[in-house]
Amino acid sequence: MSTDTMRPLGATADRATARLGPSLHVKGEITGNEDLTIEGSVEGLVQLDERKLTVGATAKVTADVIAREVVVYGNVKGNLRAKDRIEIKKDGSVNGDLTTARIMIEDGAYFKGSIEIDKSSEKESSGGSFARAAAPAAVGPKTI
């Protein structure tokens, strides 16, 4: 068996992806330095500052989330803060406030809360001006 068949989907040699299976229930705080896919249930806080969180289709997350990128296929109740982007897929559900530089909400997704487009991380990396940060944000398909 090759090592490629054993590697989790989307993982590369320098970026491991951890997985919480559908039968796992976690109460408390999750922090880490690797990408995470949640298929079970989590209550508390999920903090993956420079990594990607994927909330799987069977997942139920009741937590505040801080990550570089968040992709939601399942159910999230809590505030999401992502440095790069947040995606809510067509069967995903989010009930909470979103803070991110980029947002994508697919047709059919459920979202209840507010959205704040935070361009500060982009400003820091590109040295952009205040006027540029005040420009309208590009937004993909959405259902609100």
What are 64-104's pLDDT values in tens digits?
999 999 999 999 999 999 999 999 999 999 999 999 999 99
**122 in a structural domain:** yes
Q: What is the mean pLDDT of the chain?
A: 82
Q: Which of 16-25, 34-43, 108-117 has the lowest mean pLDDT?
A: 16-25
Please state, in angstroms and rounded to a whole number, the distance separating the CA atoms of residues 51 and 66. Answer: 9
Domain count for the chain, please give it: 1
pLDDT value at position 42? Answer: 97
- Where are the extended beta strands (E) located within 21-95? 25-31, 35-38, 41-55, 60-72, 75-77, 80-88, 93-95
**140 in a structural domain:** no
pLDDT value at position 132? Answer: 36
- Largest distance between two CA atoms of the chain: 54
**144 in a structural domain:** no
Residue 138 pLDDT exceeds 90:
no
Please state, in angstroms and rounded to a whole number, the distance separating the CA atoms of residues 7 and 3. Answer: 6
**96 in a structural domain:** yes
**33 in a structural domain:** yes
Nearest partner of 94 among 109, 82, 106, 83, judged by Cα: 109
**143 in a structural domain:** no
Q: Which domain does 34 fall in, by range?
A: 3-133
**61 in a structural domain:** yes
